[in-house]
Structure 1
């Protein structure tokens, strides 16, 4: 049996890495960028950290700042129109997963116009042509969209999110600069950090996991677990650790898939516009409890990577509980809500949410085969 690994072409990792954008633009011969971002990142002078460098080097660009959390089909279409109108030849995505996902969809459709409806990109679609080149500059430590072949778009009309998986969408260049993340407020740092931990744990336990991705994901769990609390306190070492940890997690899960945590989180974003990281963080321990019986000895290694002592002397039940408890403790320490009810989920929607989660592209990767009934039971437990 063979395993496929796809990573982005070039990454620069470390404080001050954004200076390397100039080198990449000049080497690749780009002429004009369309910067994909949101209005808040402009307001708080995050985007200017990049545009100042472009201005100093006389590099041409225009800005598209209509991105919002859980980017929609209409946002993607508007970005495509502007890219064509200004005759851009590459994209710079500045922001969290929403900005980078928007750039991916724009880049793919520019080169593959037969998918201009956007909806037809859902699922594992092998487009003919590689995306317009993207330089991805994440400002959150969570989604790892800069190194993945996945992106998520919201269909507002149908109240659903859909996952797109395409090797052609991966950014050409990733700039992992912890200084770009220093302006994240505590709540966003916590939510995106728990999103990264969810990526690592789901990637480690998914049906597609294998030795190389296991090694990657365990290292990501270790880095994230030791870094998130200090990142929430805006300590440079914590910021640097989270910038690296979320990227490492992305290297793995992009190639083996995720599971029912993400399958259940996506409908929450579509129904209520729930921030993706919060949805994942609330659901993660409940899904871990459900999946425990299908994970062999893996929860022992999760517990070990999260700093739990004495795992080799524990029974299987004990180390599984220890892993789940470690996730709960980290979530509590960084201020994540404990239930779906507290984040605005409505009990009368749980059945519809369960049906949507069952149909999600991430759900088949779950280590334990599931059903709408099982998913509903998890939602109900997480709701209380």
Structure 2
């Protein structure tokens, strides 16, 4: 079987990376950008760090700041209208996963108008044309949306999130600048950082994993393990390290898929508007334990890079238990909720939520086969 890797054409990393935005726009001959972001990033002068660079070079742009957490169909449609009205020929996405995912949907519909309903982008839509060019500038260290072919949209009328998997949707250029992430509050830093860890762990054990992506994922786990606590504390080096870790994880999982943590997290966001990173982090240790017997030696590898003492000489069962414990402790240390009741989940909703989780595209990549009844039990164990 052939394994495929799709990455950005170009990416810039490190403090000051955004200074390359106008250079890339000029080099590529782009005339006008639609900046896709959210109102808070405009209010707190994060977006201005980019627009000042564009202004200095006389580059035209308009700002669409209506994106919301867990982006919705209606917001995507408003963004498409804004792109067309602006006469833009490229998009600059500034934000976490929500603005970047919104930008992907806007860009795809701009060049594939037959998908203007948005719903038809679910799964692998088989779009004919690449997205309108996207420059992606993350402001959180977790989603890796800037390097992935995936994006997630919420069908608000049906309380359902759906995943779109489209090689045509990957941003042309990523600017991973840790300075853009320094304004993250601690809670957001913790949640997105644990999302990055979830990406790396699920990508490492997913059914589609192979040696090249294993290399990416185990390195990402190592960096998160040593850097997330410092990043949450506001340490600049910690945030720079986490910016790299989440990108490396994205390089991997975008190409091999994820698993049951994401399958179960998506409905929590759709039903209760729980931030995606918080949902993943709250589920991760329990689902790791559920999968443990189906992962070979990989939990030993995880334990080693997370600093578990004597991980090499532990029995396999003990090594697996230690890996789960290390991940759980990291989540506790950075303040992740330990029950889904804290996220507003109601027991009476669980059977319906479990059906959505079982149907989620990510669930199929889980190393252990599952069913709706087992997912119900897993949710209930976390109440």
Match status 1:196 vs 2:191: no
Structure 2 runs not aligned, ≥5 long? none
1:102 aligns with 2:98: no
Which residue is equivalent to 1:39?
39
Note if 1:124 corresponds to 2:151.
no
* 1: CA distance, partners of 2:261 / 2:191: 14
User: Structure 1, residues 164-192: CA drift from partner, whole Å, max 9, x if none?
Assistant: 00000000000000000000000000000
1:77-226 to 2 correspondence within 5 Å? Answer: 77-226=77-226
Alignment of 1:233-312 (within 5 A): 233-312=233-312
Q: How far apart are residue 309 of structure 1 and its match?
A: 1.9
Aligned to 1:29: 29
**Counterpart in the other structure of 2:328:** 328
| Secondary structure of 1:279 counterpart | helix
Deviation at 1:22, TM superposition (A): 1.1
Query: How many Å separate the matches in 2 of 1:175 and 1:109?
Result: 23
Per-residue displacement from partner, 1:227-268 (whole Å, max 9, x unpaired)?
100000111110000000000000000000000100000000
Per-residue deviation at 1:312? 1.2
Q: Deviations over 1:40-61 (max 9, x none)?
A: 1011111011011111111100
Aligned length: 383
Residue 14 of structure 1 corresponds to which residue in structure 2? 14
Residue 318 of structure 1 corresponds to which residue in structure 2? Answer: 318
- Residue 63 of structure 1 corresponds to 63
For the 8 Å contact 1:126–1:167, the answer to whether it is kept is no
Normalising by structure 2, report the TM-score.
Answer: 0.99
2-structure distance, mates of 1:194, 1:124: 27
The question of whether the paired residues in 2 share the 8 Å contact of 1:34 and 1:92 is answered with: yes
1:343 Cα shift? 1.4
Matches of 1:374 and 1:209 in 2, distance apart? 24
- Spell out, residue by residue over 1:184-235, the C-alpha distance to the aligned partner (whole angstroms, 9 max, x if none): 0000000000000000000000000001111110000001111100000111
* Alpha-carbon distance in 2 for matches of 1:288, 1:382: 13
Q: Classify the secondary structure of the residue corresponding to 2:312.
A: helix
Deviation, structure 1 residue 362: 0.4
TM-score with structure 1 length normalisation? 0.99
CA deviation digits over 1:293-313, x for unaligned, max 9? 110111000111111121111
Deviation at 1:347, TM superposition (A): 1.0
Unaligned runs of 5+ in 1: none
Counterpart position of 1:366:
366
The ranges of structure 1 where at least 4 consecutive aligned residues each deviate by more than 4 angstroms after the TM superposition are none
**TM-fit CA distance, 1:86:** 1.2
